[in-house]
Amino acid sequence: MGWLGLAGWLGPSVVLILVVVVYPLIETVRSSFQSFSLTGAVKGSAGWDNYRTIIENPAFPRVIVNTVVWVVLGVVLTTLVSLPLAQLMSKEFWGNRFLRIALIVPWATSVVMSAIGFRWILNYYYGVLNPLLMRLHVIAAPVDWLGSDRTIRWVMIGVVAFVSLPFTCFALLSGLRTISDDVLEAAAIDGAGRWQSYRHIVLPLLRGPLTVTVLLNSIWIFNSFPIVYVLNKSNPGYLSDTSTTFMYKVAFLTERDVGAGAAMSVLNVIVIGVGVALYVRRSRME
C-alpha cells in the first residue's frame, strides 16, 4: 500500500476537484482582472477596473439587499415549515408513507423544471392559481404574480423554500430518530407538557442537524440560480435579481461584460467560501 495505495484512493477525487473546481476557479479569478472583446477575446489586463465597474453599477446595492433578503427569508421559511413537517413524519400514522413520497417528488424533479412549472401555475392569463384564489375569495381580481415588483420577491422565496423542504425535512427527521423515547418518557414523568418537552428536550437535541441544514441551505439558496432566473426572466432591469443572476446577466445578456461578470462571480465565491468554512468548522466540532 503506502503511497501507491493513498494515491489510488485519493487520486480520482483530487483530479476531479482539480478539474471541476480549482481550474475554473483560477480561470474566473484571472478573467476578473482582464478586459474582453464582445467575442470573448482577451483585450488585455484590466487591473481592478472590473471590480470597480460592478460595484459602481447603480443596481449593485439593490442586488445585494435582494440577495440577503432572499437567503435569510428563504432559510427561515424553509426551517419553520420543515420542523413541524419532520415532527409529523416521525410519527406513525395512516398515510405517512404517502407524505414521504410526496415530499421526495420535488427533490427528484430538476429545479429548472420546478421553476418552469411555477411559471405556468402563476401565469396571469392561464395559470391555475389566480382562478383558484378568486373562487376562494382570497383575491378579487387576478394578480400578476411574476410581473408585479411587489409580489415576485415573495413568490421566489416561497418557491425556493418549497424546493428546499425535502432535504431539510429528511435531515431533521433523521435527527429526530436519534432522540430516544426514554428521554421523552422521562420528561413526561417529570411533568413536562408536550410543548415544554419539545422546547427544552427535542429542540436542543436537534441543534446539530438544525445548524447543518441552516448552513447548507444558506449556501444552496445563495447559489440557487435557476429559480431566480426562470421566474424573473421576463422582467427588465435588475429590480429582483440576486447576485448570481446579476452576474450572469452582466456577463452574457445585458451589459455583455465578461470581465465584470467574472468579478461579480469572484465576490460570490468569497461569500460561499465563508459559508463553507463555517460548515467545515461546525463538522469538525462534532
Q: Which residues bind other proteins (CB under 8 A)?
A: 37-41, 124-126, 144, 146-148, 233-238, 249, 253-256
Outline where DSSP puts E strands in the chain.
34-36, 42-45
| Residue 273 to residues 267, 279, 280, Cα–Cα distance (Å) | 10, 10, 10
Q: Which of 277, 198, 271, 257 is nearest to 53 (CA)?
A: 257
Least Å from the CB of residue 137 to other proteins: 20
Shorter beta-carbon distance to other proteins: residue 9 or 23: 23
Least Å from the CB of residue 238 to other proteins: 8
Torsion angle in degrees (nearest 10) through CA of 170, 175, 181, 187: -120
Shorter beta-carbon distance to other proteins: residue 1 or 41: 41
Least Å from the CB of residue 105 to other proteins: 25
Least Å from the CB of residue 194 to other proteins: 48
HSE-CB for 265 with a 13 A CA cutoff: 23
- Which long-range contacts link 176-184 to residues 24+ away (Cβ below 8 Å)? 176/86, 176/87, 176/90, 176/202, 176/206, 177/90, 178/205, 179/205, 179/206
Shorter beta-carbon distance to other proteins: residue 144 or 211: 144
All 3 cell numbers of residue 278? 463555517
- Please answer whether residues 106 and 163 qualify as being in contact, where contact means their C-beta atoms are separated by less than 8 angstroms: yes
All 3 cell numbers of residue 31? 478573467
Least Å from the CB of residue 236 to other proteins: 3
Shorter beta-carbon distance to other proteins: residue 84 or 147: 147
Helices (H) and strands (E) in the chain, counts: 15, 2
Q: Which of 252, 263, 231, 98 is nearest to 162 (CA)?
A: 231
Shorter beta-carbon distance to other proteins: residue 5 or 40: 40
Shorter beta-carbon distance to other proteins: residue 223 or 254: 254
**Rounded-to-integer distance, Cα 29 and Cα 207, Å:** 37
Least Å from the CB of residue 123 to other proteins: 9
| Cα R_g (the chain), whole angstroms | 23
Least Å from the CB of residue 195 to other proteins: 46
